[in-house]
Amino acid sequence: MSATPPIDQLVDNLFRREWGKLISVLTKLFGPQNLQLAEDVVQETLLKALHTWKINGLPQNPSAWLFTAARNKAIDVLRRQKTQQQYARNITPLLQSEYSLSPTVNELVNDAHIDDDQLKMMFVCCQPQLSAEAQVAVILKTLCGFSVAEIAKAFVTNYDTIEKRLYRARQSLKENKVCFDLPPRTALEQRLENVLTAIYLLFNEGYSSTHHDNLIRKDLVAEAIRLAELISNSKLINTGSAHALLALMYFTASRTDARLDEEGNILLLKEQDRGKWNREMTGKAIHHLDASAVAENLSKYHLEAGIAFEHAKAINYEKTNWKNILHYYDVLLTMYPSPLIALNRAIAVGELLGPAESIRAIEAIENITLLDKYYLLPATLGEQHSKLRQNERAAVYFKNAILLTASPAVKKLLQQKIDALQL
């Protein structure tokens, strides 16, 4: 068997795991105003790794190899450009001298303080002059290694819109000469919500991938949890919402091993073997749910974690307390109105009051056109109409849903639902 496929797979996993770490340390070196330069150096480093490892085999410590290669590449770039632009303002003079260039880069580009650097980078990306959407998009691109297409999917928007947001964000970081420093504590609190949003979107892409052959990407799930743990351990901010997010992610991730059958088909919540749910993760979720009580305000993650807890404590699907879940969604919709939350609420309505009421709840959603490109809207309508035995109408909705998702696993599930209608 060729050695190439496992190396390709390893580089892909490393891309996800090490991308944000390398971007963080290089941004500390180059300064946030040169974010594009940091991304270019990391991209070239990963391409070099792929080429070199295919020829020479895997190094004993691939992560250390990447840091060394990135450090060497950074030194080459700085030697070529040291008089052409400004870098991190407190170290620019050291980078312009040949005597201090290499020692300075070696000191800064290492993994000794990587957690602190990533924590800083997350909050640096959330500059107040950027829109909330742009802040989250920058975090997903720079720290999570998302492609533009993946970010567009996360925002239920198009590729060009995200490209423009990222371009404007980089220009803003450059024009405002942003420093690689944590802002004051009050500013940290203001930026926290967008940082947590980005982490949750990373988790969602790992838990239900839309642009990958595998539905579940455990590397992304683990990375999202790791980043949230960094924040929950911080003494600089109120970490209640971070603990609530961790509770939500652990509750959700605990179901991972029960989500697919032996042939790789998706098993929905009702079909899952709850004996396969990871009880250790559930325990961690409850721990973080308790810890989230330190929050001064109730966040959407507290409410969503409450919903996840209701699923976790039900001994089977039939014992699920849908009345409590609907209450959580009612509060969520009041505090954080959005078509997506309203759609999820409508699903809960269907479980409690039946499919006809679910359809009515969907038809009453404000700004529902914002979900026109989201497969879950027609998929949910298809499910409710199939329960009413309106099979032809259900099939139309399922077919529309297939056209709106890039996930092979989801497409297969929707086609199975069409086949089961026996038209």
Note the pLDDT tens digit of each residue in 371-421.
998 999 999 999 999 999 999 999 999 999 999 998 888 999 999 999 999
In order of 317, 358, 383, 408, 419, the CA distances from 413 in angstroms are 20, 21, 12, 9, 10
Query: Rounded to an integer, what distance in angstroms lies between the CA atom of residue 82 and that of residue 86?
Result: 8
Burial class of 2 by CB neighbour count within 10 A (0 to 12, 13 to 18, 19+): exposed
Q: How confident is the model at residue 61 (pLDDT cuts 50, 70, 90)?
A: confident
Whole-number pLDDT of residue 391: 96
Q: How many CA atoms lie within 13 A of 236 on its CB side?
A: 18
Query: Rounded to an integer, what distance in angstroms lies between the CA atom of residue 176 and that of residue 264?
Result: 49
Q: Looking at residues 202-222, what average pLDDT do you find?
A: 80
Burial class of 295 by CB neighbour count within 10 A (0 to 12, 13 to 18, 19+): middle
Whole-number pLDDT of residue 9: 67
Give me the phi and psi of 266, to 5 degrees please.
-70, 135
Q: Looking at residues 231-240, what average pLDDT do you find?
A: 84
Which range has the worst mean pLDDT, 194-198, 275-279, 328-332, 415-419? 194-198
* The pLDDT of residue 358 is above 60: yes
Q: How confident is the model at residue 2 (pLDDT cuts 50, 70, 90)?
A: very low
Q: Looking at residues 108-124, what average pLDDT do you find?
A: 75
Q: Which residues pair with 260 in a beta bridge?
A: 266
Q: Looking at residues 312-322, what average pLDDT do you find?
A: 96
Q: List b or e across 56-92, with b for residues whose CB sees 16 or more CB atoms inside 10 angstroms.
A: eebeeebeebbbbbbbbbbbebbeeeeeeeebbeebe
* The pLDDT of residue 85 is above 60: no
Q: What's the mean pLDDT when you consider all of the chain?
A: 87
Burial class of 156 by CB neighbour count within 10 A (0 to 12, 13 to 18, 19+): middle
* The pLDDT of residue 172 is above 60: yes
Q: Which residues pair with 266 in a beta bridge?
A: 260
Whole-number pLDDT of residue 1: 38
* The pLDDT of residue 106 is above 90: no
Whole-number pLDDT of residue 303: 97
Whole-number pLDDT of residue 365: 96
DSSP assignment of 39-87: HHHHHHHHHHHHHHHHHH---S-HHHHHHHHHHHHHHHHHHHHTTTS--
Whole-number pLDDT of residue 397: 97
* The pLDDT of residue 132 is above 70: yes
